[in-house]
Copies of this chain bind each other. A is one copy, B any other.
Amino acid sequence: MKSDKDGTKQKVIEAAISLFNVQGYSGTSIRNICERADVNPALVSYYFGGKKGLLEYLMTSFFENYLKAIEHENTNGSARDLLIETLRQALYYQQSKHDIARFVHREITLDTMLVREVMSTYLMKEKHVYYEILKKGMDRLEFKKQPIDFIIIQIRGMVTLPFLHPQYIREVHHLIPHEEYFILHYIEYLTTWIDQYLCERQTKEESLASS
């Protein structure tokens, strides 16, 4: 007689994540998950209303918190500092859930109804967050005028890729994406990118001084 005290539900979630990571959602069977979690397969239907429900649960809870992490009420500071802070949050959040991040970023490239919904809510908002910061920066002449969409695309690529494709980072570049060490250096790199590429020349020295 098992109660949820031993975290049956949690065990399913963890097993699912680690398998989705490696094999993808479609490539992973419920049996697969439940064997690893040492749990009865019927429970997935019971808890999440089926395999699809499990995916939905994982995706939305990931993005829900992701947005919370990158949205800031306090927008007083410089656009540059705000952007850096946002990227930092995005990276740290993903680091803390790097296992979910990976398969979510992958799964979201498919053409499912779920994906379209997720995209039209969360990714829309994500874009908005960056847009506001960049707009503000350009208005205040902190940032050079450049096509905002392209910048956001570039940002999303930079923020996303290390968690979508950690093997690449690991095996080709011999860096470990979800280690503190990597994150720190990566943020540093992104900061110089912001300063040298986004920011107006004169602002650069100032901002460096202010950091």
How far does the alpha carbon of A168 sit from the alpha carbon of B122 in the complex, in Å? 11
- Are A119 and B172 CB-contacts (below 8 A) given A165-B108, A165-B109, A197-B193? yes
Per the 8 Å Cβ criterion, residues 142-201 of A in contact with B are 146-147, 149-150, 152-154, 156-158, 160-162, 164-165, 167-169, 171-173, 175, 185-186, 189, 192-193, 196-197
Which of B149, B157, B185 is close to A161, meaning CB atoms less than 8 Å apart? B157
Whole-angstrom distance between the Cβ of A54 and the nearest chain B Cβ: 15
- How big is the A interface, by class? 35 or more
Is there a chain B Cβ closer than 8 Å to A42's Cβ? no
The residues of A with any CB-CB pair to B shorter than 8 Å are 21-27, 102, 105-106, 108-111, 115-116, 119-120, 123-124, 127, 146-147, 149-150, 152-154, 156-158, 160-162, 164-165, 167-169, 171-173, 175, 185-186, 189, 192-193, 196-197
